Structure 1
Amino acid sequence: MMKKIYVDGYFLSQKITGVQRYAKQFIENMIDNGYEVTLIAPSNATLDIPGAKKIQSRFKGMFWQQCILPFILLAHGFPPLLSLTGIGPVFYPNKMLAIHDASIYRFPKFFSKTYLLFYRIVYPVSIFFSKALITVSNFSMTELRHFIKMKKKIYVIYNVTSDLVSTDGDKISLLDGVGRYILTVGSLDERKNLKRIVKAFNNSSIKEGYKLIVAGGNSSAFSDIKLECENKNVIFTGYVTDGQLISLYKNASFFVYLSIYEGFGIPPLEALTCDCPVLLADIDVFREVYGDEFKYVNPSDISKISHEMEKFSRLDREKIKQQQQPVISKFSKQNQIVQIYTALSGAFGEKNITVQ
């Protein structure tokens, strides 16, 4: 007998960042473990996932997701649906909805008024019309329970270690002759705390011996943030491909990730997979996910960030890697598939996801 699930393919039309990568790896893991996955996708979906069936519509955007997708599902017998990014088809009741964090409630100032208003109105409705919720950490589950009062079962399904694949065409030219550098990654929204990282680097003694590379693109969903910097040792790459990201991780002296708020935080896990030591923000979710073998710093204190970056640059790189690498095994595909099975069976019932 095979387990069968339908997936909202809205994310297939988007650039691959944190939540989209989560969805992609989630689906790949199901396929590798014998699930029959059918992706229902808008017309502008460009990403394909090998092994998944794909039903592609002639429509796109919110109109497709809210008006067309539900009718496609009804035509296929009202099947269980996973919506792993965004709001899902709001009024479709036979779905599981993934919400990665509670940032719109905890830090509303980080978002534009339009974005905030939309999600604060729509999320409660979509949650009401959902069988259960998925989130990515126990921290996020606690946050969602605090802010969302509906009595919905929340299943924690962690991210898995990255399986990014580099290609020759994705080598990043800015690394030519760049020398030693510190890497940070993230879209340029305020939660990622990039302004403080840049200021801390500029105030530190290591700015003469290292460059700081900031990889990531801005998102129109967030309040405008200008990271203006005259220091030639600070390099902004904008959006990078998966292959370029691997090159950046593998060649960095160390990786700094000092978000104010996260649901999980995939980039540190990616860095570890690429043998890059990590310096983290001292926030609850990172303590949960990464544990005691990591170095942490108060992400709101620029002087402490400068000091910890200087200290970290003097540590034995190989020793740090040996201390941090064991955490990777915690986020294996084997562990995740058990969590997936528990969530799907609990939300939909074993018989409703099993076909002959």
Structure 2
Amino acid sequence: MQIGIDGLLLWGQYSGVERSIARMATTLARLDQTNRYTIHVPFDCEAEALAAAGVEVRRAPFRGAQKLTRILWQQGIFPGVLAREGADVLFAPGYVLPLRWRGPSVLFVYDIIAIARPDLASRTNAWHYRALLPRSVRRATRVAVPTEHVRRQVIEQCGVMPSRVTVVPLGVSPRFQRVEDPARQAEVRLCCQLPERFVLTLGNLEPKKNLPRVLEAYDILRRAGIRQGLVIAGQPAWGAAALRESLARCASRADIVLPGYIADEDLPVLYSMADALVFPSLTEGFGLPPLEAMACGTPVVVADVPPFDETLGDAAVRVAPEDPQAIAAGIRQVLEDPLLAARLREAGREQAALFTWERCASLLAKLFDSAVTAHG
């Protein structure tokens, strides 16, 4: 079969969703010798890795930053392009389906934050996904979600039959393993201006990442005598004003580093050097960074939210995300209890090993077949 992939979100610096789309496409093309894969991307997408994996790349006539143009092209022009290219199945791994597509389709929905927690989504994303995501879910032949928690939310919020929604966990790339090479560590330390020892938090700098409370927790830790610095890694996103205001009020501002976006090749090094990863998001659909850090042997402190029951189990310290005191206590546990940190490192590596992109791709390939059969 010819599988057409909507890769229109792939441009610029990738965050979790974009990295997942690229990894799913390359792994499918590498492992699935039965089907052919064509991905449609903005014309400024850096698609060398996709092509090298055997994915045919088609470039749409707009830049990735042209969001309104992308939406209009996706909904108006893309279905005809797919039909002319003879696509047997459309794989839409970016929340939204071209609603005029009439063939079999598999939609991937990572979360429904724009619907369930619009206060944690940008105004444009809340409008876009609230308008199109439920309709896309109902239109899709099959829907993939990363956790059972998201599955329940999609069924309830979008009014779709449970039999059409399947859990397809995301994966951790094999490159996420502990890096002890002093030269690589020195290179990343210099590039990012990292302190000798630090606690790391990583992700887009947006409200759902709960960073103002991380700063409050860090002030508490410094007053308690914790000497590690705090590294807040990630690219600025919407709602950055609240973070700037919190930084201005933070008594420990001099011990905080914001290195910006971290290149993919540097992520395993950064995880490996951190004494702990703190990831107290207010909501998540899956959350890749905790599993990536675990694969690198780094202890993890995360929010006590439902998806982490499935993905992390008891391999992480869980904290109430709305309580800075609780966040600080969780971090302090890891930093001051060597036996706990050692247990988390071992359990974390075992937990991360359960999630592979090969398994993800295998489940998706079965969904493509199921979509064709169900479509008739």
Q: State TM-score, norm by structure 1.
A: 0.89
Structure 1 position 31, deviation (Å): 1.6
Aligned to 1:271: 293
Structure 1 position 174, deviation (Å): 5.0
Distance (whole Å) between structure 2 residues aligned to residue 282 and residue 288 of structure 1: 12
Give the paired residue count: 349
**Residues 1:163 and 1:17: Cα distance change in structure 2 (over 3 Å):** farther
Gaps of 5+ in 2: 64-69
The answer as to whether partners of 1:191 and 1:261 remain within 8 angstroms in 2 is: yes
Distance (whole Å) between structure 2 residues aligned to residue 130 and residue 247 of structure 1: 40
Aligned to 1:19: 17
Structure 1 position 107 matched with structure 2 position 117: yes
Distance (whole Å) between structure 1 residues aligned to residue 195 and residue 316 of structure 2: 27
**Residues 1:59 and 1:297: Cα distance change in structure 2 (over 3 Å):** closer
Aligned to 1:242: 264
* Superposed CA offset, 1:269-290 (max 9, x none): 1112222121111111101111
Report % sequence identity. Answer: 22
Structure 1 position 59, deviation (Å): 3.8
The answer as to whether partners of 1:92 and 1:130 remain within 8 angstroms in 2 is: no
Structure 1 position 314 matched with structure 2 position 336: yes
Aligned to 1:58: 61
Distance (whole Å) between structure 1 residues aligned to residue 112 and residue 129 of structure 2: 11
Aligned to 1:123: 133
Structure 1 position 87 matched with structure 2 position 96: yes
* Superposed CA offset, 1:30-63 (max 9, x none): 1221242111223222233121111223345234
Instruction: Detail structure 1 runs of 4+ shifted over 6 Å in the superposition.
Output: 165-170
Aligned to 1:305: 327
**Residues 1:312 and 1:91: Cα distance change in structure 2 (over 3 Å):** same
Structure 1 position 188, deviation (Å): 1.8
**Residues 1:82 and 1:278: Cα distance change in structure 2 (over 3 Å):** same
Structure 1 position 189, deviation (Å): 1.6
* Superposed CA offset, 1:300-353 (max 9, x none): 11111112211110122433211221112211244323322332222223999x
Structure 1 position 114, deviation (Å): 3.5
The answer as to whether partners of 1:282 and 1:298 remain within 8 angstroms in 2 is: yes
Aligned to 1:73: 82
Structure 1 position 111, deviation (Å): 2.4
Distance (whole Å) between structure 2 residues aligned to residue 54 and residue 184 of structure 1: 34
Aligned to 1:6: 4
Which moves more between the two structures, 179-188 or 313-322? 313-322
Gaps of 5+ in 1: none
Aligned to 2:371: 347
Structure 1 position 162, deviation (Å): 2.4
Structure 1 position 223, deviation (Å): 7.6
Q: How does 1:17-56 map to 2 (within 5 A)?
A: 17-33=15-31, 34=33, 35-48=35-48, 49=50, 50=52, 51-56=54-59
Secondary structure of the equivalent of 1:87? coil
Secondary structure of the equivalent of 2:354? helix
Structure 1 position 219 matched with structure 2 position 237: yes
**Residues 1:252 and 1:52: Cα distance change in structure 2 (over 3 Å):** same
Secondary structure of the equivalent of 2:10? helix
Which moves more between the two structures, 297-306 or 240-249? 240-249
Distance (whole Å) between structure 1 residues aligned to residue 221 and residue 142 of structure 2: 47
Cα RMSD after superposing both structures:
2.6
* Superposed CA offset, 1:196-242 (max 9, x none): 1111011124665100000012223x585333245211111222211
